């Protein structure tokens, strides 16, 4: 299966992480709607079709934390899909290098695709071509596989983990509230591994996840359906195949539902590399778009689903490949020598992107 998304099917899980989620008024997929309400995750009254939604929570205070000195900085590589696996393979080569080089233990999670064998063949050939010597594939065929001792041990040993594309709802149906999800968080937090995700794997990086929705010509209320993701980006939600599939309106619609979150749009064969508390970098062939609705005025509470939205005061940043910025509170020495701090209009958004997630407990 290609990196293209499919309409997600409802999934079920047994438990919820005991953590506090950001307030939300967005619609969520039916399978998780009852979980969220029962768990009391601070989501308030869920906005169903034809029902009035409560006012969104005010944006967070304009300050951000950073990783304490001496703590390993987890690295996220968020790829917009369709990365080159045949010619120069720049993004896959960079994933290998960030993870430790040719001898790094690289593990690929294929739980999003309905063709794990095909994904393993394609990525196996590509990684062999860039010189990776230790590559293996973790086929999550069902949710029970995410608790298997062998798979958990592989995650504990991995230097880099790559989540392939497919269907993000399928992926979350297998990973949500499982030991494998906990191991991924621990690997980034405690060992500072590189976690990469492409297409569906990129969409699942955030706490509030864009699960599905058409690429409308103009922003429309609730044109994007939101679900729960892996929560490696607690302050943002991610869209992929961004420019190629003309998804700016979809991302704006999602930000109108969740103005407390940044919207991140990643183009194909492009990656956003986030090193928690330290720096961001755009790699690959195209650009990353950041939508900041912190100061936005919207009519989202006044119109009905599918009606057009008025969005005033939206801040939009477009970062081309090769652009890199460090956290304003981090010194520009060592491997950050020569890396600039962001311009003032970008500083607030960058600080939020670099904020680590809360510790996950299930």
- Among 64-73, 242-251, 311-320, the least confident range: 64-73
Tell me what pLDDT residue 70 has.
57
54 pLDDT more than 60: no
**In percent, how much of the chain has pLDDT > 90?**
78
Give yes or no: 199 in active site. Answer: yes
Tell me what pLDDT residue 14 has.
34
Within a domain: 9: no
Phi, psi of 340 (to 5 degrees): -75, 160
pTM of the model: 0.83
Catalytic residue among 183, 268, 275, 281, which? Answer: 268
Within a domain: 38: no
Within a domain: 146: yes
How high does pLDDT run on average in the chain? 85
Tell me what pLDDT residue 189 has.
94
The total domain count for the chain is: 1
Higher-pLDDT residue of 344 and 59 is 344
Q: What is the mean pLDDT of residues 346-359?
A: 94
17 pLDDT more than 60: no
Scanning 260-336, the segments in alpha helix (DSSP H) are none
- Identify which of 39, 14, 41, 10 has the alpha carbon closest to the alpha carbon of residue 26: 41
Tell me how crowded residue 16 is: count the other CB atoms within 10 A of its CB.
18
Tell me what pLDDT residue 93 has.
98
CB under 8 Å, gap of 24 or more: what pairs does 97-101 form? Answer: 98/160, 98/194, 98/273, 99/159, 99/160, 99/193, 99/194, 100/159, 100/160
Tell me what percent of the chain is helix, strand and coil, each rounded to the nearest 5.
25, 20, 50
215 pLDDT more than 70: yes
Catalytic residue among 99, 154, 241, 327, which? Answer: 241
Within a domain: 35: no
Tell me what pLDDT residue 41 has.
34
Tell me what pLDDT residue 359 has.
85
- Identify which of 273, 291, 279 has the alpha carbon closest to the alpha carbon of residue 202: 273
Phi, psi of 110 (to 5 degrees): -105, 20
Tell me what pLDDT residue 44 has.
27
Tell me what pLDDT residue 300 has.
96
Within a domain: 210: yes
- For 277-289, how does the pLDDT look when each residue is reduced to its tens digit (9 = 90+)? 999 999 999 999 9
37 pLDDT more than 50: no
324 pLDDT more than 70: yes
Q: Are 184 and 161 in contact, with CB atoms under 8 Å apart?
A: yes
Give yes or no: 2 in active site. Answer: no
User: Parallel, antiparallel, or unpaired: how do β-strands 270-275 and 279-284 relate?
Assistant: antiparallel
**Which residues partner with 1 through β-bridges?**
none
Q: What is the CATH number of the domain that holds 176?
A: 3.40.50.880
For residue 292, the SS3 value is strand
Terminus-to-terminus CA distance in the chain, angstroms?
32
Q: Are 209 and 203 in contact, with CB atoms under 8 Å apart?
A: yes
Tell me what pLDDT residue 20 has.
37
Domain that residue 126 falls in: 72-353
- Identify which of 144, 157, 184 has the alpha carbon closest to the alpha carbon of residue 17: 184
Give yes or no: 241 in active site. Answer: yes
H/E run at residue 121: helix 116-129
Of 27-41, 61-75, 110-124, which one has max mean pLDDT?
110-124
Q: Tell me how far CA of residue 206 lies from CA of 78, 105, 197, in angstroms.
A: 10, 25, 11
- For 183-214, how does the pLDDT look when each residue is reduced to its tens digit (9 = 90+)? 999 999 999 999 999 999 999 999 999 999 99
DSSP 41-94: -S--S---TTSPPPPPPPPPPS----PPTTS---EEEEE-S---SSS--HHHHH
Within a domain: 327: yes
Within a domain: 61: no
Catalytic residue among 199, 249, 287, 294, which? Answer: 199
Within a domain: 13: no
Q: How confident is the model at residue 145 (pLDDT cuts 50, 70, 90)?
A: very high
Q: What does the alpha-carbon distance between residue 188 and residue 276 come to, in Å, rounded to a whole number?
A: 9
């Amino acid at each position: 299966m290609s990196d293209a998304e499919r309409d997600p099917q409802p999934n079920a899980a047994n438990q919820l992480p005991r953590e506090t989620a950001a307030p939300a008024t967005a619609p969520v997929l039916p399978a998780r709607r009852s979980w969220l309400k029962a768990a009391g995750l601070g989501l308030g009254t869920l906005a169903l079709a034809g029902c009035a939604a409560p006012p969104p929570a005010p944006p967070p205070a304009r300050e951000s934390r950073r990783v304490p000195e001496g703590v390993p900085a987890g690295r996220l590589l968020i790829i917009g899909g369709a990365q080159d696996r045949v010619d120069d393979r720049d993004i896959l080569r960079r994933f290998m290098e960030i993870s430790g080089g040719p001898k790094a233990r690289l593990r690929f999670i294929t739980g999003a695709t309905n063709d794990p064998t095909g994904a393993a063949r394609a990525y196996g050939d590509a990684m062999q071509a860039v010189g990776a010597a230790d590559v293996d594939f973790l086929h999550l065929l069902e949710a029970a596989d995410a608790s298997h001792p062998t798979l958990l041990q592989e995650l504990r040993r991995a230097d880099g983990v790559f989540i392939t594309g497919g269907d993000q709802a399928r992926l979350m149906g297998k990973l949500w509230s499982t030991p494998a999800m906990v191991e991924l968080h621990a690997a980034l937090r405690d060992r500072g591994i590189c976690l990469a995700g492409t297409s569906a794997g990129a969409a699942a990086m955030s706490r509030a996840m864009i699960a599905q929705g058409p690429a409308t010509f103009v922003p429309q209320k609730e044109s994007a359906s939101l679900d729960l993701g892996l929560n490696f980006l607690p302050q943002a939600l991610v869209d992929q195949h961004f420019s190629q599939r003309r998804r700016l309106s979809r991302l704006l619609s999602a930000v109108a539902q969740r103005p407390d979150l940044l919207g991140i749009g990643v183009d194909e064969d492009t990656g956003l590399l986030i090193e928690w508390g330290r720096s961001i970098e755009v790699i690959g062939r195209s650009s990353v778009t950041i939508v900041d609705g912190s100061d936005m005025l919207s009519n989202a509470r006044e119109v009905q689903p599918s009606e057009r939205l008025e969005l005033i005061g939206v801040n939009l940043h477009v970062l081309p490949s090769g652009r890199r910025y460090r956290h304003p509170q981090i010194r520009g020495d060592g491997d950050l020598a020569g890396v600039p701090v962001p311009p003032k209009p970008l500083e607030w958004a960058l600080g939020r992107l670099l904020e680590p997630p809360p510790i996950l407990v299930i």
